[in-house]
Amino acid sequence: MLNLPIIRWGTPYSSLEQEDVTHFITGEPLARMSLANPGLLARDMRHVERARAVLTEIPIPELAAMMKKAGELFVNATLPIGDGEQSPEDFARAQSATTGLPVHLCQANMRKNHFVLSNMDKILDALTRGLDPAILSRGYGRESRGVIVSYQAQTAALGLVLPSNSPGVHALWLPAIPMQIGLVIKPGSQEPWTPYRMIAAFTAAGVPKEAMAIYPGHADIGGEVVRRVDRAMIFGGASTVRQYRGDPRVQVHGPGFSKILLGDDIVDQWEKYLDVMIESVASNGGRGCINTSGIWASRHTKEIAQAIAEKIGPTPALPPEDPQAALAAFAVPGAAKAIWNTVAAQLREPGATHVTERFGERLVELQRTGYIRPTVVHSASPALQLANTEFMYPFVSVVECPQEEMLKKIGPTLVATAITNDAPWQRKLIDAPCIDRLNLGPIPTTRLDWLQPHEGNIVEFLFRPRAFQTLASSAA
């Protein structure tokens, strides 16, 4: 069995407190993970400045090239992990075994990370809007249009409190290292695999190990990461989002409530967009915050719900190794049943109709785990509880709502795909503050263009543009 140590700025440390990372079906331990105590993390953060110092010695284009190499290693190489090593195949199997995500989806997530790492130069160029990378390193510089600009790093390292169940999110933090910002990672208790493999790939590609730290642990370690690092990304539920709302040091990634909005001008041809809707709801096991959980239209909602249900309702719960497996298991015992009970209770509200009911039981309980099969609900009104909610499996509520009411009712929406050619409404969609990412046209909510910022631009999160004046003779 693998032993996964704490990584203290590149140096492994084996804790006296350890926890097994277990197979979600068999309960077999796959790794034993060292758990950090908060004081240990706090102590290491006294040296956080060194993380940025060692990175700023390497020019950003060189770090971006290292990312490209790391991407290759991440998908293709056998890399050290803890006291052992792991091939790409072992990695996908291990990740599937502890998170419940099918193996082929784990492999797809590896390819996504590879894509982001391979295109890091383009991503940085897009996110910085073409800024000369040397300006980020030096803190200031003259742009091609002759203006002095200054970007001040807001932290020496980015703290990450990562989720256990969504291997898809890791691409979000990958731009930190090439922007010369270190990493302080608390991995999810069921998904240590990506952080350890990513750090191994970075190290093998030439990134100084002193810039990276991993602290597995319980909830107190998550709190300590946020407390000790000046900028942190944290993944959690609605309560986590509430806890950190308004804290400029923290970027919270919670439920997305992503939606597809069908305009009155096209809704009569809704069948043309069925594939976009299905991909948005069901891809990647329906687990992401970018998966669609609501499809809003003023009419035809019952037919739309029916058509989606016919496509995804019969989806079976298949073993994770099955290449056809489209559903992720809920790896925490009892979780599937608890979630299904919530859905079932809310389905009792008048106006909510369970459209996938005729395709058999949704809850599939196994000995240690459970699945919930895709669920399509018709909501006769946006006021229903199930009209605007999100669950971590393919769940969608098709909501009947007049077009002119939609923007008042949809609430916070991470990705909105608005299918309409109605120019005045498009204008309102563009201006709607409740929408974060906007796709105008039939683009699945799950298809992210990595050249676009996600939930706030990571460059603006890590660097502050500020005024800077100097005389030529005093320039550093």
Q: Which helix (H) or strand (E) holds 312?
A: helix 301-312
Of 337, 373, 332, the closest CA to residue 356 belongs to: 373
Cβ at position 155, least distance to other proteins in Å: 18
Question: Least CB distance from residue 32 to other proteins, whole Å?
Answer: 14
Nearer to other proteins, 19 or 83 (CB): 19
The distance of closest approach from Cβ of residue 415 to other proteins in the complex, given in angstroms and rounded to an integer, is: 30
Show the tokens assigned to 419: 């299918």
Between the alpha carbon of residue 258 and those of residues 36, 99, 102, 113, 412, the distances in Å are 35, 23, 23, 22, 8
Nearer to other proteins, 243 or 426 (CB): 243
CB of 227 to other proteins, least distance (A): 8
Beta strands in 1-96 (DSSP E): 2-4, 6-8, 11-13, 18-22, 29-34, 79-81, 84-86
When the beta carbons of 156 and 406 are compared against other proteins, the nearer one is 156
Verify binding: residue 223, other proteins, rule CB under 8 A.
yes
The number of residues that bind other proteins (CB under 8 A) is: 14
Instruction: State the minimum distance, in angstroms, from the CB of residue 137 to other proteins.
Output: 29
CB neighbours of residue 239 within 10 Å: 8
Nearer to other proteins among residue 3 and residue 243 (C-beta): 243
Least distance in angstroms from the C-beta of 198 to other proteins: 26
Specify the 3-state DSSP secondary structure of 417: strand
20 binds other proteins (CB under 8 A): no
According to the binding rule CB under 8 A, does residue 246 interact with other proteins?
A: no
Give the shortest CB-262-to-other proteins separation in angstroms. Answer: 40
Q: Considering the complex, what minimum distance in angstroms separates the CB of residue 231 from other proteins? A: 17
DSSP string, 107-175: HHHHHHHHHHHHTHHHHHHHHTTS--HHHHHHSEEE-TTS-EEEEEES-SEEEEE--SS-GGGGGGGTT
Part in contact with other proteins (CB under 8 A); list of ranges 15-23, 115-123, 278-286, 444-452: 15-23
CB of 122 to other proteins, least distance (A): 40
**Nearest distance, CB of residue 41 and other proteins, angstroms:** 10
Which of residues 239 and 473 has its CB atom nearest to other proteins in the complex? 239
Whose Cβ is closer to other proteins: residue 135's or residue 161's? 161
> Which pair of tokens denotes residue 198?
């990513």
Q: Which of 16, 467, 471, 476 binds other proteins (CB under 8 A)?
A: 16
Among 227, 299, 337, 368, binds other proteins (CB under 8 A): 227
Q: What is the b/e burial string over 333-362, where b = at least 16 CB atoms within 10 angstroms of the residue's CB? A: eebbeebbeebeebbeeeebbbbbeebeeb
Regarding 142 and contact with other proteins (CB under 8 A), the answer is: no
**Which residue is it, tokens 């041809």?**
269
Contact set for other proteins, span 31-60 (CB under 8 A):
35, 37-40, 42-43, 46
Nearer to other proteins, 42 or 383 (CB): 42
C-alpha pair distances (Å), 180 with each of 206, 298, 451: 13, 49, 19
| Among 17, 62, 321, 322, contact with other proteins (rule: CB under 8 A) | 17
What b/e readout covers 283-301, taking b as 16+ CB neighbours within 10 angstroms?
bbbbbbbbbbbbbbbbebb
Q: Where are the beta strands (DSSP E) in 392-458?
A: 395-400, 413-419, 435-440
Of the listed pieces 9-17, 54-62, 379-387, 400-408, which binds other proteins according to CB under 8 A?
A: 9-17
Cα(215)–Cα(162) distance, integer angstroms: 11
Q: Are 23 and 99 in contact (CB under 8 A)?
A: no
Task: For the CB of residue 35, give the shortest distance to other proteins in the complex, in Å.
Answer: 7
Q: Nearer Cβ to other proteins, position 43 or 142? A: 43
Encoded amino acid at 120, one letter: M
Q: What is the token pair recorded at 276?
A: 């976009």
Does residue 3 touch other proteins according to CB under 8 A?
Answer: no
**Please, which residue, 13 or 468, has the CB nearer to other proteins?**
13
Considering beta carbons, is residue 41 or 51 the nearer one to other proteins?
A: 41
3-class SS of residue 464 = strand
Instruction: List residues near other proteins by CB under 8 A.
Output: 15-17, 35, 37-40, 42-43, 46, 223, 227, 243
